Chain A
Amino acid sequence: MNELEQAGLARLRDGWISGGAVFELAPAEWKTVAAAATPDEQERRLLAIAAQALDVALRPAAPRTLKRRPPLPVLALPLLPDRLRPLLRAALKHAADARRKAQVVKLVASRGFVAHPMDWMPATSDQTAPDVYAPWIDWQANSEGQRHGSLDKLTVENWTDFYPAARRVALASMRWSEPAAARLLIELKAPAESADVRLSLVELIRIGLGPADASFLKSLATDRSGKVRELAGRMLAMLGEKGDGGPDLPVNELAGFIEEGKAGFIRRRITYNPAKTKSHAQEQRRAELFELCNLVDLAARFGVSESDFITGWQFGTDNNADILLSRMVAASGSDAVVAHMADMLMAAGGKPALFVLHLMPRLDGRRQRVLIRQIIKDAQFPAALHLAHDIDAGWLDWDDVSNGRFLAVFRSGISANDDPTRRAVEDIAETIGCLATAPAAAKFIDETVAAGLPPASPSLALLRLNAALAENQSVQ
């Protein structure tokens, strides 16, 4: 279309928008086509020509600048094969929340694959996704599209070349191999970061936490973020560092909720019992205090070591208090006392063993597996498995599942008529779907279906993915 025609088209367009006959405004050649007709027909003919000109002869004007996102980084693991993607999508669809979805991708990563980005993409704030996804988290966060430099080894000089997720992964790795160097980097660079970023950086000190970290953690007592101060205090407590004593400390108030006593006729030993609360308000205050205080301070308040305090605690007296204490130990107990409490409760078995679930993130893989196996073997509270967080995926063997009464309890749950029991059964199937080895997952599906759960039940989605991933296991 030449310039005259373009100008003519613009005139026609303006004329039609406001209304009225526009024949006289048309380009000369167009007029020829439309001339020998009634006035209405002339307009229609011009309209037809204009429509085609707009459709074919004019192209949309591209903006002068279009923003190009940087290429999506290639991850260290291969993408899940296409034929398994529907199974992954089904498992993700059924996963109720971000934590459950993270379990699905964790299982996939444990078998040497990553999800296709069109099926699952970690959120920019995601801190539970497997480390392999860090480049995608940073890619999402970076909307400006600048390319960053070499990602060989994190140093003070190249700190800004790393995006936050990649930096966190690099620092975590350094904390395992060179804890002092990692701490120094955090010490130097954290003050310039925002409170949230500072918090996540200080959190990394937990990896390989040792006495050498104490002075840095103490220096954080003046940090401008309350959350950072609290975290540093917790980690110091893990190292056995007591807080500044004083009559106004909440630990004294907390101690008021605990009764010291004696037990045993021959070997007298000290016991710690949760005092009976008189009102809901008191109960709430006690929960707040357990969250505020550190184990080391509480034990010191009673003049005993952390281990002695835990040994003397009378589990089973008050379920809520037991849970609060477990959480406190997980948050501020030293590694040794966490392991001590876990061993003690697991040896006791039964319901007390379930409190160990609160310590799970602090336990090593061996203890985690022992606990899970024990819960399955006891089969008293199989639904508690749902509470387990941060457990390795894909290791539970069929022998572990078929050991004890677990399968019998599970089968009876399937045939139950009440909704809560059925939901619990579905939760268990989902948890086993994450924990099981591929052969165990396949067998568990058969057992479950034979027991009456519909073969197409969405609760089996993760188990199906797990079983299908068997033949696709790649070397990591």
Chain B
Amino acid sequence: MQLDLKTIEALAPDQASLGAAAKLTKRSNWPRLETHEQLGLIWGECQGSGSNPYRVMFDTADHGYKCTCPSRKFPCKHILALMWIGVTAPTTFDRVDQTPDWVNDWIGRRRKPGQQPAQPGTEGKSIDDALQPQESPAPVEDAAAAERREAAQRKRAEDTRSAVSAALDELDQWIADQLRLGLSGFVDASSERCRRIAARLVDLKAAALAGRIDELPSRLLALRNEERPDAAIRELGKLVLLAKAWRAAPDDPELKRLVSTSETREQVLAHPDAIQVESDWEVLGEKIETRRDGLVSHATWLLDLKSPTPHFALLLDFFPASAGRRSNAFAPGDRFKARLVFYPSRSPLRALVAERFGDVASGAWPEAGVNTAADPLAAYAAFQDGAPWLSDCPLVLPPGTIQLDERDAAWWQGANGPQGIALPVAGTVNQTVLGLDLTATAALWNGARLELLASQSSIGRLDLS
């Protein structure tokens, strides 16, 4: 079973769910617990407060799950409890060769990552079903209706493009106003000013750009006073570049994603330009941020362990903060073999897990994965050449150490001597790291600060995110 307590902890939406799940791991709560080992499924019936038990099912291969309870937390406490029992007391499951109908229904309905939607008549049917008369095929839509629908779609797309174009005009004007009024005042009142323009951008269908501008004040506040004007110049300058790039190529999928709206999972999987990479991946770390619009963004950074040069992937998930902490099935340090599909982009980073094949043994990062270039920021320069409107660039830094300046702020210092490059580190670092030689460090560089994700050291891998 590809499950352990760490994974369950990572999956749990919050501590309360874990606590509630712990109480449900009593055998007496589960009148039925079964497993189909070949299919990698476990399921059970958990007695809740109602007359009928909740039906809980879990796929150990890809960590998919389903529970019939009405909870708004995902996964709910019943699923967590089922997983928990699966890890701690696997022998309590009865091994069976047949799955019950309700598990079959779930398997038939769900689409595993990488699978195409089930085609009617090809799967999920029993012999009895097959003996039933075939349903008549769906009526063929007439050509005129199809034409009308396509015309409506074109019209909607055109409207959206016009609205976004107007949004970018307003943004341009707003940026010019900030320069005229002075960045000193902008830094002081960034929260109010950004909120106002962000609201206008949402009205004009530039939602992604609005979200980015809404987060600008918190990015500024994370810096020291004297650094904020430069950061404001950088952020506003990138917005100018992004607006210009969109005007030049409004259908470009990357620019559309950054300005208005993102593609669906299905669109990415079906996109002809989406790069697919099958490799071994290590979860470098996570970055979880609650945004001002009430969404939580959960970024999981992966390192390609087979790539000859440092190669990364970003799994990005958004969910409402009110739903509690929700995580994908990965914890820092996990290694797995998978096929990833990258969102079409100049520097493809954001990806989807199309298919996951299983876990990979832990170990050091491959030599090839470490940036051995003389300039550790060379990759950042190349990244900026391709997409100057982006900020966070993942890097694997060569050997170095973390040191402190006179204000006790942390810096990553290359091992090639005190004359070598030193980069400021965002936030505080675990004191232990100050005593270790880091043979390689994975981090995000945004032009001003390093956000540490993980390191390889003389005492193995260090989680730093």
Which residues does A use to contact B, with CB under 8 Å?
13, 16-22, 40-41, 43-45, 47-52, 54-56, 59-60, 62-63, 65-72, 79, 82, 86-87, 90, 116-118, 121, 139-140, 449, 452, 454-458
Taken residue by residue from 228 to 241, chain B's Cβ proximity to chain A (1 for < 8 Å, 0 otherwise) reads as: 01100111111011
Interface pair A86/B22, CB less than 8 Å apart: no
- Taking a contact as CB atoms under 8 Å apart, the answer to whether A18 and B182 are in contact is yes
Residue B284 interfacial (CB < 8 Å):
no
B406 touches A60 (CB 8 A): no
Complex Cα spacing A454 to B182, Å: 62
- Say whether A63 contacts B405, CB under 8 Å: yes
Contacts A59-B421, A62-B411, A456-B22 given: A117-B432 contact, CB under 8 Å? yes
Task: Note all chain B residues with C-beta closer than 8 A to A72.
Answer: 432, 435-436, 459
Q: Are B404 and A40 in contact (CB under 8 A)?
A: no
Question: B5 contacts the other chain (Cβ, under 8 Å)?
Answer: yes
Find chain A residues with CB under 8 A from B404 CB: 66-67, 69
Known contacts A79-B460, A455-B85; is A66 also within 8 Å of B237 by CB? no
A68 in complex: contacting residue of B179, B362, B381, B403, CB < 8 Å:
B403
B16 → A minimal CB distance (Å): 14
Task: Name A453's closest neighbour in chain B (CB-CB).
Answer: B26
CB-defined contacts of B463 to chain A, threshold 8 Å: 118
Instruction: Name B residues whose Cβ lies closer than 8 Å to a Cβ of A.
Output: 4-6, 21-28, 81, 84-85, 88-89, 172-173, 175-176, 179-185, 229-230, 233-238, 240-241, 244, 333, 362, 377, 380-381, 384, 388, 401, 403-406, 411, 413, 418, 421-424, 430-432, 434-437, 447-448, 459-463
The CA of A158 and the CA of B4, in the complex, are separated in Å by: 50
Cα distance A34–B276 in the bound complex, in angstroms: 40
> Which of A13, A20, A71, A457 lies in contact with B435, CB distance below 8 A?
A71
Whether B172 pairs with A13 at a CB distance below 8 angstroms is no
Contact of B6 among A51, A60, A65, A86 (CB under 8 A): A86
In whole angstroms, what is the CA distance A66 to B419 when docked? Answer: 11
B447 pairs with A55, CB closer than 8 A: yes
* Alpha-carbon gap, A139 to B432, bound state (A): 10
Cα of A139 to Cα of B244 in the assembled complex, Å: 54
> Do residues A59 and B179 form an inter-chain contact, with CB atoms below 8 A?
no
Q: How far is the CB of B25 from chain A (nearest CB, A)?
A: 4
Task: Give Cα A69 to B26, complex, Å.
Answer: 49
**Complex interface: chain A residues within 8 A of B184 (CB):** 17-19
- Given the complex of chains A and B, what is the CA–CA distance between A243 and B333 in angstroms? 62
The closest CB in chain B to the CB of A461 belongs to: B5
Q: List B contacts of A86 (CB < 8 A).
A: 4-6
How many Å from the CB of B236 to the closest CB on chain A? 6
Which residues of B have CB within 8 Å of A50?
Answer: 233, 237
Q: Are A20 and B381 in contact (CB under 8 A)?
A: no
Q: Which of B180, B421, B423 has the most CB of A within 10 A?
A: B180
How far is it, in angstroms, between the C-alpha of A87 and the C-alpha of B235 when the chains are bound?
A: 44
Set of chain B residues within 8 Å of A59, measured between Cβ atoms: 377, 421
**Bound complex: CA of A70 vs CA of B88, how far in Å?**
42
Neighbouring A residues of B432 by C-beta, 8 Å: 72, 117-118, 121
- 13 additional A-B pairs beyond A66-B404, A67-B406, beta carbons within 8 Å, are A13-B229, A19-B183, A20-B180, A21-B180, A44-B176, A54-B230, A62-B421, A63-B405, A66-B418, A70-B435, A86-B4, A118-B430, A456-B88
Give the distance in Å from the alpha carbon of A19 to the alpha carbon of B28 in the complex: 71
A50 to B234, CA, bound (A): 7
Interface pair B179/A43, CB less than 8 Å apart: yes
Distance in angstroms between the alpha carbons of A224 and B180 in the assembled complex: 70
List of B residues within 8 angstroms of A121 by Cβ: 431-432
A66, A140, A452: the one contacting B403 at CB < 8 Å is: A66
- Chain B residue numbers with a CB within 8 Å of A68 are 401, 403, 413
| Complex contacts, B229 vs chain A, CB 8 Å | 13, 16-17
* Interchain nearest-CB distance for B213 vs A (Å): 15
B437 to chain A, nearest CB (A): 7
Q: Which 7 A-B pairs have the closest CB atoms?
A: A51-B237, A19-B182, A72-B435, A62-B422, A66-B403, A40-B176, A454-B25
Q: Contacts A67-B405, A69-B435 given: A56-B384 contact, CB under 8 Å?
A: yes
Cβ–Cβ < 8 Å partners of B4 in chain A: 86
Given contacts A18-B184, A40-B176, A48-B240, contact A13 B25 (CB under 8 A): no
Identify A455's interface contact among B88, B423, B431, B448, CB under 8 A: B88
Asked if B89 and A51 make an inter-chain contact with CB atoms under 8 angstroms apart, the answer reads no
* A452-B28, A458-B22 known; A54+B233 contact, CB < 8 A: yes
Do B5 and A13 touch across chains, with their CB atoms under 8 A apart? no
**Which residues does chain B contribute within 8 Å of A139, judged by CB atoms?**
435
CB pairs A–B below 8 angstroms (13 shown): A18-B182, A18-B184, A19-B180, A20-B180, A44-B172, A51-B234, A51-B241, A55-B384, A63-B422, A66-B404, A118-B432, A449-B27, A456-B21
Shortest CB–CB separation between residue B339 and chain A, in angstroms? Answer: 26
Residues of A within 8 A of B401 (CB): 68
The answer to whether B381 touches A56 (Cβ under 8 A) is: yes
Give the shortest distance, in Å, between A172 (CB) and chain B (any CB).
Answer: 25
